[in-house]
Amino acid sequence: MNRLPVIVATLCLAAAALIAGATWWVTRNGPSGAAGSAQVISSGKALVGGPFQLVDQTGRAVDESILKGKWTVVFFGFTFCPDVCPTTLTAMEAVKKDLGARGADLQVVFITVDPERDTPAALKAYLDSVGPEGTIGLTGTPEQVTAAAKAYRVYFRKSGEGDDYTMDHSTAAYLMDPKGEFAAVLPYGLAPADKAKVIRDAMKQ
């Protein structure tokens, strides 16, 4: 039996399916929509980060320019956080140690998602006891905090009522380069040695 017609028929069907799929995609998204998606994938740097107006733990008004000239790990949390935030801050101490001399080029920025309780003084007391020395704690008005979280694609939500409320929040940290642009994600579950490797590799580029 000659298999060629079967193969040709199969290929034709596959090609027809591809064309139908592509047509469906373009119809659904429009040619510019498809191109737009490709751009977003190729320029991931634009996805995370951006301008913010906040206040540090000394009461000084700061903006995104604090990211310039240094590698920075940015993450969002709150001082009443029972696990994720203290664990992340403690891990960052290990990461800085692992980086050795390069660790001096790395700053840590902790942005609260709980400005109601996390005043500059509360952030100062917290960061004096947890995390690497020199960690910058940032807070602001609820609107300023929401805008910063939005820029960093961070999710957070108040959970519970009264004094005992807690905050749900994204757990990933972001490595930003000395231009203040996104360089890498540091997932919460990644071991400190692996986080250090991601940072060391990024610093080499």
List interacting residues with Ni ion (CB under 5 A).
Answer: 77, 81, 84-85
CA R_g for the chain: 23
Q: How far apart are CA 85 and CA 77, in angstroms?
A: 6
Smallest separation, CB 194 to Ni ion (Å):
20
Nearer to Ni ion, 55 or 154 (CB): 154
Nearer to Ni ion, 84 or 125 (CB): 84
Nearer to Ni ion, 81 or 99 (CB): 81
Nearer to Ni ion, 84 or 151 (CB): 84
Which tokens hold the place of 49? 């980060």
Smallest separation, CB 82 to Ni ion (Å):
8
Nearer to Ni ion, 54 or 113 (CB): 113
Smallest separation, CB 162 to Ni ion (Å):
19
Dihedral, CA of residue 87, residue 92, residue 95 and residue 100, to nearest 10: -150
* Amino acid at the residue 17: A
Closest CA to 103 of 114, 90, 111, 94: 94
Smallest separation, CB 87 to Ni ion (Å):
8
Which tokens hold the place of 11? 């290929």
- Which residue number has the CB closest to Ni ion? 81
Smallest separation, CB 149 to Ni ion (Å):
13
Q: What is the DSSP letter of 53?
A: E
Closest CA to 54 of 125, 128, 123, 154: 123
Using DSSP's 3-state secondary structure scheme, residue 50 falls into: coil
Q: How far apart are CA 90 and CA 42, in angstroms?
A: 33
